[in-house]
Amino acid sequence: MCGIVGYVGYREATDLLLEGLFRLEYRGYDSAGVAVLNGGEISVRKKAGRVHELAKLVDANPVHGCLGIGHTRWATHGETTDINSHPHVGGNGEVVLVHNGVIENYTSLRTFLQEHGFVFRTATDSEVIAHLISYHFTEQTEQGGDPKNSATAIKAVEATLKRLKGTYGLGIIFQEFPKMLIGARAGSPLVVGIGQGEYFLASDASPLVGYTEEVVYLSDHEMAILSPDSFELLHRDSGALSPSIQTIDQVAADVDLGDFEHYMLKEIFEQPQTIENAMRGRFDEDEATAKFGGLNLDPQQLRRIDRVVLTACGTSWHAGLVGEYLLEEFARIPTEVEYASELRYRNPPLTDNTMVFAITQSGETADTLAAMRECKRKGHPTLAICNVVGSTIAREADGGIYLHAGPEIGVASTKAFTSQVTVLTLLALYLGRMRHLSYPAGQRLIHQLKSMPEIIRKSLDCFETVKNVAQKYSEFSNFLYLGRLHNFPVALEGALKLKEISYIHAEGYPAAEMKHGPIALVDEVTPSVFVIPRGGIHPKVISNMEEVKARRGPVIAIACEGDTKVDNLADDIIRVPDVEEYLQPLVTAIPLQLLAYQIAVVRGCNVDRPRNLAKSVTVE
**Are 428 and 479 contained in the same domain?**
no
pLDDT of the residue at 614: 60
Domain that holds residue 571: 461-620
The β-bridge relationship of strands 528-531 and 478-483 is: parallel
CATH of the domain at 524: 3.40.50.10490
Sheet (strand 67-73) strand order:
41-48, 31-38, 67-73, 3-8, 199-202, 191-194, 214-217, 246-247
pLDDT in tens, 184-212: 998 888 999 999 999 999 988 888 888 99
**Are 38 and 115 contained in the same domain?**
yes
Q: Is the pLDDT of residue 79 over 90?
A: no
Residue 433 lies in a domain: yes
pLDDT of the residue at 574: 94
CA 584 distance to own-chain centroid: 24
**Are 201 and 72 contained in the same domain?**
yes
Q: Is the pLDDT of residue 612 over 80?
A: no
**Are 280 and 356 contained in the same domain?**
yes
CA 581 distance to own-chain centroid: 28
Element (H, E) at 221: none
Residue 51 lies in a domain: yes
Mean pLDDT of 92-117: 91
CB 586 within 8 A of CB 275: yes
pLDDT band at 617 (very low <50, low <70, confident <90, very high): low
**Are 263 and 232 contained in the same domain?**
no
pLDDT in tens, 226-275: 999 999 999 988 888 888 888 876 655 566 777 888 989 999 999 999 99
pLDDT in tens, 365-386: 888 988 889 888 888 889 999 9
**Are 470 and 436 contained in the same domain?**
no
Write down which residue in 450, 469, 491 finishes a domain: 450
Per cent of the chain over pLDDT 70 is 96
pLDDT of the residue at 254: 61
Q: Is the pLDDT of residue 620 over 60?
A: no
Contacts (Cβ under 8 Å, ≥6 apart) of 566: 530, 532, 542, 545, 557, 559, 573
Candidate from 177-186, 286-295, 417-426, 587-596 with smallest mean pLDDT:
286-295
**Are 148 and 292 contained in the same domain?**
no
CB atoms < 10 A from the CB of 378, how many? 14
Residue 456 lies in a domain: no
**Are 85 and 60 contained in the same domain?**
yes
Give the residue numbers annotated as catalytic, written as ranges: 2, 615
Total count of domains within the chain:
3
CA 176 to CA 174: how far, in whole Å? 5
**Are 408 and 348 contained in the same domain?**
yes
- Of the segments 173-187, 251-265, 557-571, which one has the largest average pLDDT value? 173-187
Q: Is the pLDDT of residue 293 over 60?
A: yes
Write down which residue in 420, 450, 480 finishes a domain: 450
Element (H, E) at 483: strand 478-483
Residue 215 lies in a domain: yes
**Are 349 and 417 contained in the same domain?**
yes
pLDDT of the residue at 304: 87
Residue 565, classed as helix, strand or coil, is coil
CA 576 to CA 487: how far, in whole Å? 13
Written as one string, the DSSP assignment of 30-70 is SEEEEEEEETTEEEEEEEES-HHHHHHHHHHS----SEEEE
CB 14 within 8 A of CB 30: no
pLDDT in tens, 467-504: 999 999 999 999 999 998 999 999 999 999 999 999 99
pLDDT band at 619 (very low <50, low <70, confident <90, very high): low
pLDDT band at 586 (very low <50, low <70, confident <90, very high): very high
If we measure between CA atoms, which residue out of 292, 276, 575 comes closest to residue 415? 276
**pTM, entire model:** 0.81
Which position has the higher pLDDT, 84 or 29? 84
pLDDT in tens, 112-168: 999 999 999 998 889 999 999 999 999 999 888 888 999 999 999 999 999 999 889
**Residue 606: what are its φ and ψ, rounded to 5°?**
-85, 100
For residue 11, the 8-state DSSP code is S
